[in-house]
Structure 1
Amino acid sequence: MKALIIAAGDGGRLGNLTEHKPKPLIQLLGLSLIERVILTAKQAGINEFVITVGYLCDKVKAKLRDGNRYGVKINYIENSEWMKGNGFSVLRAKELLNGNFILLMADHIFDSRILKELVDCDVRSSVILAVDRRKPIQGDTKVLEKKGRIVDIGKDIEESDCIDTGIFLCSPKIFSYIEDSVKEGKKELADGIAKAAGSGDAEIFDIGKVKSYVSGMRKDIRPWWIDIDTEEDLRKAKKMILENASKNPSDALAYYIHKPIENKLVSFVSNFNITPNQLTITVNIFAYIVTALFFFGYLLPASILTFAVGIADGLDGKLARVKLKTSKLGSLEHSFDLLFEFSWFIALSWFLFSSTQSATPLILCIFIILFIAFYRHVYDQFRRATGRSLDDAGNFERLFRRVAGRRNLYNIPILVFILLGVPLYSLIFILFHSGITAIVYAARAMKHLHAIDKRKG
């Protein structure tokens, strides 16, 4: 399926930002608005785009070119009458769209889950409009619907029960309705949709029906979108993207300290040409420097640096989600994280063994690694079996996650007992912490899985 993107307007409400730059090229966390639209649509399986350009159109073309750098194909249609209304921008693409297509706005940033659901809808009308049930604010295009069909649409309608998100699934028939509205002197896309609605030929897709829980993020994320019209909208969008790219941290340290620091760092790093994979490699190199410091007995600097690694380790995944560069390869990152985590325990225990000639540190290390490997496997298997994180399986789990065994929390006793001059005690503490976590995770996973089996009968 193709997507038509309307990118012709001048974005006058953004003031000086669009004086010499078209609105679709305004930057937001390292990507232009239209790049975000393209890459989000690509996540929904759309790889071919028609873009209607107008104001400063050569700059848009120079930026996006043929789309090859994004792994998509782009064709352009110029609309010299862009200032007359966005209905004209849609009509310009008529000859290139012979089948059902997605219609998007270059200044509407949105959640890919909305589009993934919309493209699977059965097209029985000329248009299906994704709508949001939130209360309208100034500038919103309001919609009134009854039994799934649009009754009225427009910015100034008196009665409404949802709002237009700027995301449409259209059949070619929509062009005839827009042409009819243009003949009547009504030149906006909404006028064409209203025309289709008058014939009972326009439906809605309620984005509230999109499943909100995202297992990989360990939290509910309400399907989101935002129309960028002002600088304040840009600030809101930045905050929204960062928040929705943040996993629900498991442990207390990650929740209260790492997350706000990570958000500031990702906001800064996203403006540079740094890839998530480059960050992953850098963090791993840094982590193994810590391993070397433990191994050679530089315990205090090593233990301090573990906290820096803990913060840096969250940057690559978040940057990938912010810049829409998530990949299958990136899913291996957690395996490499576990490897360097184990290397810290091994290096510390080996140094203590070498210093004392006692096998106790090595024995403690073996059981720590066994417990961590076990509960990590239980955790992963539970998510595969249920589609939900064990941390979110119930109220108890949501509380326990803040104190459950995690690398971030293990770093604390390592530092404390090194400062106290008894580093061996850190391994003893972690042994009990990881052991308790393994017991609790196994017991709770078995409880929930057994309950699921009983419900299935």
Structure 2
Amino acid sequence: MRAVVLAAGEGRRLRSVHPGPKPLFPLLGLPLIVRTFCTLREAGIADIVVVLGHRGDEVRAALGDGSRWGVRVTYAESPDWEKGNGASVLAAAPHVAGERSWLLLMADHLVTPELVRRVAACTPPEGGVAVGVDFTPARVPDLDEATKVQTDRVTARDAADGGAANQDTRPSVVAIGKDLSAFDGVDCGVFHATSGLLDALRACAEEGRHTLSDGVRRLAAQGRAVACDIGDARWCDVDDPAAVRHARRMLLEQLPTPRDGLISRHLNRKLSVPISAALARFAVTPNQLSFATFLLTALAAGLFAAGAFVAGGVVAQVASVLDGVDGEIARLKFLRSRFGELFDAILDRIGDGLLLAGLTYGTYAATGSEWALLFGALALIGSPLSMMIKDRYRAMTGDLYRPDVHDGWVRYLLANRDGRMFVLFLGGILEQGLATLAVLAFTSLTQAVVRLARLKKFL
């Protein structure tokens, strides 16, 4: 499928924070339009037509052919962009003339790959359009400026409950526009269109009307515009400083993952997310961050071995917090890679081994107790089992292992990596090396045994 991205507008309301072209506004390290490119790529769409207008030469020079972000970009010029965004859509007509259907997005709308996939899967009526609609208007921050949509959603639901055979029971668009007083949804800026939208826009242009909403309104009057419910997928129209702040929050709130352990969820993420937000503006890569975190982990291990337990515990916890930053930057800037995941996992396992070896040596040197050697050996055996079980579960089922779903009561044990690092922190500042090794050995092995027993019902 091909996507058309409108990038012709002037963006006057963003001038106070960004003097350049609006599509190139940097949001947490990536220009708005590049975020759109990467979102489309993640949704499986790599063929993109960008419609240029205001300061189009600057936008073209900055983006090139799109290969830097794994997409193919071609350009269309809209000489009449000032008349309205409908004129910009018509400028892309030669590029989508042979397409059965295509996606239409706005360069200044922040959307998720899931939202794009939902609209792409929503087949438009013959010669019509499917409009991505957020049926929860209350979550739209600047509702006055949003394009409202009125649908026959209730009637459509009744038809579906009645089991109407061979009938399209999706809500039809009844009206669309910014000034609607009666509405049940908001246009999120993603459309699944056919050539019928171009025909409608041409007819509107002949009447002196040049907005995209004019074209959709015309199709709605003909019964050829349906609403695609985007569900809980998030989006934001980034058109003023307040919207920029909302967009930043939206992106940062998505950084924690369902796989987070107890300490990551309640402590580490509260520290790592602001760090990632600050680092996003720099050209630092996730792999560089992974290696920097590994060096800190190795330093903590050396401090433990030297008997500096307090310093070792503090550095270990700092490394634990920073261990989340590489993944957050990867998600935030669309830099995830299979090699990066492997590289990070290997460094984590080596780091775990170094920490336990360092603490075992330091404890034995300080106490002379052979229990330190036993507990250290058991902790070394149990340490990699947490990640190994998760990886094997994913390999066998194709699903992520989620501690909150699969672990039962053992999710409260500090046995995942974030928990083990926190135990090392507490043990270090309390200077209780032997007790720390005993706790790590017990929790990691107990978690492995209970997980093995519980997973029988999931496999």
TM-score bracket, normalised by the shorter chain, equals 0.7 to 0.9
Query: For residue 350 of structure 1, what is the aligned residue in structure 2?
Result: 361
2:444 corresponds to which of 421, 424, 434: 434
Post-superposition Cα deviations, 1:123-149, rounded to whole Å, max 9, x if no partner, equal 443221111111262112122223322
Determine what percentage of the aligned residue pairs are the same residue: 29
**Would the aligned equivalents of 1:414 and 1:426 in 2 still touch at CA under 8 Å?**
yes
**Would the aligned equivalents of 1:24 and 1:106 in 2 still touch at CA under 8 Å?**
yes
Shifted more, 148-157 versus 257-266: the winner is 148-157
Query: For residue 229 of structure 1, what is the aligned residue in structure 2?
Result: 239
Within the alignment, does 1:393 sit opposite 2:370 as a pair?
no
Shifted more, 102-111 versus 245-254: the winner is 245-254
**Would the aligned equivalents of 1:250 and 1:402 in 2 still touch at CA under 8 Å?**
no
Query: For residue 455 of structure 1, what is the aligned residue in structure 2?
Result: none
Could you tell me which runs of 5 or more consecutive residues in structure 2 were left unpaired when the two chains were aligned.
157-169
Query: For residue 77 of structure 1, what is the aligned residue in structure 2?
Result: 76
The whole-number CA distance in structure 2 between the counterparts of 1:202 and 1:432 is 61
Query: For residue 142 of structure 1, what is the aligned residue in structure 2?
Result: 148
Within the alignment, does 1:199 sit opposite 2:192 as a pair?
no
Q: Which amino acid letter does the alignment assign opposite residue 11 of structure 1?
A: G
1:449 corresponds to which of 433, 447, 458: 458
How far apart are 1:156 and its partner, in Å? 2.1
Within the alignment, does 1:304 sit opposite 2:310 as a pair?
no
SS at match of 2:256: coil
Query: For residue 336 of structure 2, what is the aligned residue in structure 1?
Result: 326
Query: For residue 177 of structure 2, what is the aligned residue in structure 1?
Result: 154
Distance 1:421-1:82 versus aligned 2 partners, 3 A rule? closer
Query: For residue 16 of structure 1, what is the aligned residue in structure 2?
Result: 16
Query: For residue 211 of structure 1, what is the aligned residue in structure 2?
Result: none
Within the alignment, does 1:117 sit opposite 2:126 as a pair?
no
Shifted more, 271-280 versus 348-357: the winner is 348-357
The whole-number CA distance in structure 2 between the counterparts of 1:231 and 1:87 is 25
The whole-number CA distance in structure 2 between the counterparts of 1:157 and 1:369 is 65
The whole-number CA distance in structure 1 between the counterparts of 2:319 and 2:431 is 23
The whole-number CA distance in structure 2 between the counterparts of 1:420 and 1:52 is 62
Post-superposition Cα deviations, 1:85-120, rounded to whole Å, max 9, x if no partner, equal 100000011111120221110110001111123333
SS at match of 2:195: coil
How far apart are 1:355 and its partner, in Å? 5.8
Distance 1:419-1:163 versus aligned 2 partners, 3 A rule? closer
**Would the aligned equivalents of 2:123 and 2:130 in 1 still touch at CA under 8 Å?**
no
Within the alignment, does 1:372 sit opposite 2:383 as a pair?
yes
**Would the aligned equivalents of 1:131 and 1:163 in 2 still touch at CA under 8 Å?**
yes
How far apart are 1:388 and its partner, in Å? 5.3
1:294 corresponds to which of 301, 304, 319: 304
**Would the aligned equivalents of 1:41 and 1:112 in 2 still touch at CA under 8 Å?**
yes
1:268 corresponds to which of 257, 273, 278: 278
SS at match of 1:401: helix
Q: Which amino acid letter does the alignment assign opposite residue 127 of structure 1?
A: V
1:316 corresponds to which of 323, 326, 349: 326
Query: For residue 163 of structure 2, what is the aligned residue in structure 1?
Result: none
How far apart are 1:274 and its partner, in Å? 0.9
**Would the aligned equivalents of 1:49 and 1:75 in 2 still touch at CA under 8 Å?**
yes
How far apart are 1:351 and its partner, in Å? 4.0
Within the alignment, does 1:165 sit opposite 2:176 as a pair?
no
Post-superposition Cα deviations, 1:295-319, rounded to whole Å, max 9, x if no partner, equal 4444332222101100111000001
Shifted more, 145-154 versus 294-303: the winner is 294-303
How far apart are 1:181 and its partner, in Å? 1.4
Q: Which amino acid letter does the alignment assign opposite residue 379 of structure 2?
A: I
1:179 corresponds to which of 202, 206, 213: 202
What pairs up with 1:38-117 in 2 under 5 angstroms? 38-98=37-97, 99=99, 100-117=101-118
How far apart are 1:174 and its partner, in Å? 1.5
The whole-number CA distance in structure 1 between the counterparts of 2:54 and 2:261 is 49
Post-superposition Cα deviations, 1:281-300, rounded to whole Å, max 9, x if no partner, equal 22122222323333444433
Post-superposition Cα deviations, 1:149-194, rounded to whole Å, max 9, x if no partner, equal 2222222233322211110111223210111111222211011011
Query: For residue 371 of structure 2, what is the aligned residue in structure 1?
Result: 360
Q: Which amino acid letter does the alignment assign opposite residue 169 of structure 1?
A: H
Q: Which amino acid letter does the alignment assign opposite residue 101 of structure 1?
A: W
Distance 1:412-1:47 versus aligned 2 partners, 3 A rule? closer
Query: For residue 127 of structure 1, what is the aligned residue in structure 2?
Result: 129
SS at match of 2:458: helix
**Would the aligned equivalents of 1:249 and 1:255 in 2 still touch at CA under 8 Å?**
no
**Would the aligned equivalents of 1:404 and 1:437 in 2 still touch at CA under 8 Å?**
no
The whole-number CA distance in structure 2 between the counterparts of 1:421 and 1:84 is 71
Distance 1:16-1:415 versus aligned 2 partners, 3 A rule? closer
**Would the aligned equivalents of 2:148 and 2:176 in 1 still touch at CA under 8 Å?**
yes
RMSD of aligned residue pairs (Cα, Å): 2.4
**Would the aligned equivalents of 2:90 and 2:201 in 1 still touch at CA under 8 Å?**
yes
